[in-house]
Chains A and B, each alone.
Chain A
């Protein structure tokens, strides 16, 4: 230990590139969410592509990264403020707020998928089923007047987790493709079950009661200074809170011994086992916690769109969730956010593409896998305590 030279004091990156990015993204988000004409949307998309290229070529991308690494919690806070600011700016418009909320819920779902796929390497092709399990839980519990809707969200997660128990044994015992096939089968079974089950509304589906919190019904429009806001403001704010909470939890999970175990299991099960890591326990934790997150997000989604049917939770939706992880970057939370935005926004904003949406995503995923195999915003090396590295 005597021959170690202490590293020279490294100048910490400033926070300005980070803050500038947050502000730019928020402004951009507001612009694209409120854009209505195709040419506006296409123009904004072109702008995004140009800005990305310039950012990469000029090295600004790297300074943003450094800035984020040095001031992570502050910049995460700024991002949260940014989202709330966008909600405020859109506060009277139903449709953009609905889209933003959906994006936030898909972002939340991508965080759950990331635990399974990105960290632990377990592909889950039944994401939509577990999301749907949460939504159906919300529909059923909406009829139980005394049950607090906030707890319904938790219950949605619990039901989804309970359903995954059915799959745990086949999934933990089999590996690779077999486990993937098991989840495909489950997703298809789940949808078929909903379609034939009369109590759950059959193919027509069910109504879902709205969220109520402290006596406040989320269907009511908030009034501020005589201005009537869209009731979706309620949902957008709650979705933001949920996404933020799950984000913090998943971040901490990644930056813990449990997260390290997940990586070890993904990269080399045999070596992991030789160092006492329980491969089974790690996989079960990843599968259950990921599905719980999907269930919670699904429950809130059901309440928000107020009507659900089996056709909202198909295999293609599951594929979309997997592709979010691939697009954003395996194990990259912010990548999931970007991917969720792309996956939700593009088909909604470019209606003429609606019919080709799956073609579009396939092409996009293939392009990303070819040219940016680590995803649009690749995962960074694990830093357990960012901004406060162990004394060096």
Chain B
């Protein structure tokens, strides 16, 4: 195993017109690490996810993943490299079933041909059965009571269930890096705790999933992260364990300055 970091930003910069959303942001993520990405509203957390997943091109700087440069790669290439995400504002397909939504996270790795999909229905069936089991196991972990309701439309579920389904969709492809953008928004304290435990459960079953989590709930960050990076106005102002960054004067200032 190499010792190089799994992910590395170097002077990553993004400008939207006159707004500098990210300003020469450099950081790294080690293999298997859980990193908290925190900062006040508008500090550039979501923007760094959007650059990393290829939704926006970077204005300057580079992104390296597992030794490969992936700056400005397409969302598809990023996914194929093993990076998946959830969205701050849930982006599920509300009229599709739970199963369909989760499968969106995995089908691009299954048969793509017209022949395989339309004519060879027996082998398609085998793919379907295997993936159904996988999706159902995930749902059973995150929302046991939904495991027997896989063919219900997601639109009928309450918001917090949708957030869980979105995490299942991200995890179904057994990714190497999971990006969580405020996964617990709208959840109670206990629900958040449970969600985090479930994520760690899935992580423990797999092979060293790394996680970057954006979260306003500091209790969560404290409990689950190995390290934290703090952004303010697009610049990194602190990098260290939760205890270190929490006691940092500039960090306290940044948070107090906003609130």
Contacts and interface: CB of A to CB of B under 8 A. Distances in A.
B96 A249 contact: no
A375 B150 CA distance: 25
Contacts of A384: 128
Contacts of B124: 256
A275 B93 CA distance: 13
B104 A271 contact: yes
Contact of A274 (B75, B94, B96): B75
B106 to A, nearest CB: 8
Contacts of B78: 274
Contact of B100 (A1, A258, A260): A260
Contacts of B55: 270, 274
Interface residues of B, number: 51
B148 A4 contact: yes
B45 interface: no
Contacts of B106: 275
A274 B100 contact: no
Interface in B61-114: 74-76, 78-80, 84-85, 87, 91-97, 100, 103-112, 114
Contacts of A4: 140, 144, 147-148
Contact of A252 (B92, B109, B121, B141): B121
A385 B127 CA distance: 12
Contacts of B91: 268, 270-271
Contacts of B132: 390
Given A264-B93, A390-B128, A274 B84 contact: yes
A315 B104 CA distance: 36
Q: What are the 4 closest A-B residue pairs judged by CB atoms, nearest first?
A: A276-B108, A256-B117, A273-B75, A276-B79
Contacts of A174: none
A267 B94 CA distance: 9
B96 A263 contact: yes
* Interface majority SS (helix, strand, loop, mixed), chain A: loop
A257 interface: yes
B104 A275 contact: yes
Nearest to A278: B76
B140 A3 contact: yes
Contacts of A166: none
B32 interface: no
A276 B76 contact: yes
Contacts of A271: 87, 91-93, 104
Given A270-B91, A382-B100, A257 B76 contact: no
Contact of A268 (B93, B103, B173): B93
Contacts of A381: 96-97, 151-153
A277 B108 contact: yes
Contacts of B107: 257, 260-261, 275, 277
Give the interface size bracket for A toward B. 35 or more
Given A4-B144, A271-B104, A273-B76, A257 B110 contact: yes
A382 B101 CA distance: 11
A267 B117 contact: no
Interface of B: 53-55, 74-76, 78-80, 84-85, 87, 91-97, 100, 103-112, 114, 117-118, 121, 124-125, 127-129, 132, 137, 140-141, 144, 147-148, 151-153, 169, 173
Contact of B79 (A249, A258, A274, A383): A274
Interface of A: 1, 3-7, 249, 252-253, 256-258, 260-261, 263-264, 267-268, 270-278, 285, 381-385, 389-390, 392
B118 A252 contact: yes
A120 B87 CA distance: 22
Contacts of B105: 275
Contact of B151 (A1, A5, A257, A383): A383
Contacts of A276: 75-76, 79-80, 108-109, 173
Contacts of A257: 103, 107, 110-112, 117, 127
Contact of A275 (B54, B84, B114, B152): B84
Contacts of B79: 274-276
Given A7-B148, A273-B75, A392-B148, A258 B104 contact: no
A4 B106 CA distance: 23
A342 to B, nearest CB: 24
B85 A258 contact: no
A272 B148 contact: no
Contacts of A263: 93, 96, 100
B242 to A, nearest CB: 29
A1 B129 CA distance: 16
B44 to A, nearest CB: 19
A381 B163 CA distance: 21
Nearest to B111: A257
Contacts of A6: 148
B163 to A, nearest CB: 14
B4 to A, nearest CB: 25
Given A384-B128, A385-B128, A390-B128, A258 B117 contact: yes
Contacts of B141: 1
Contacts of B80: 276
Nearest to B114: A258
B93 A267 contact: yes
Contacts of B84: 274-275
Nearest to A391: B129
Nearest to A389: B151
A264 B94 CA distance: 10
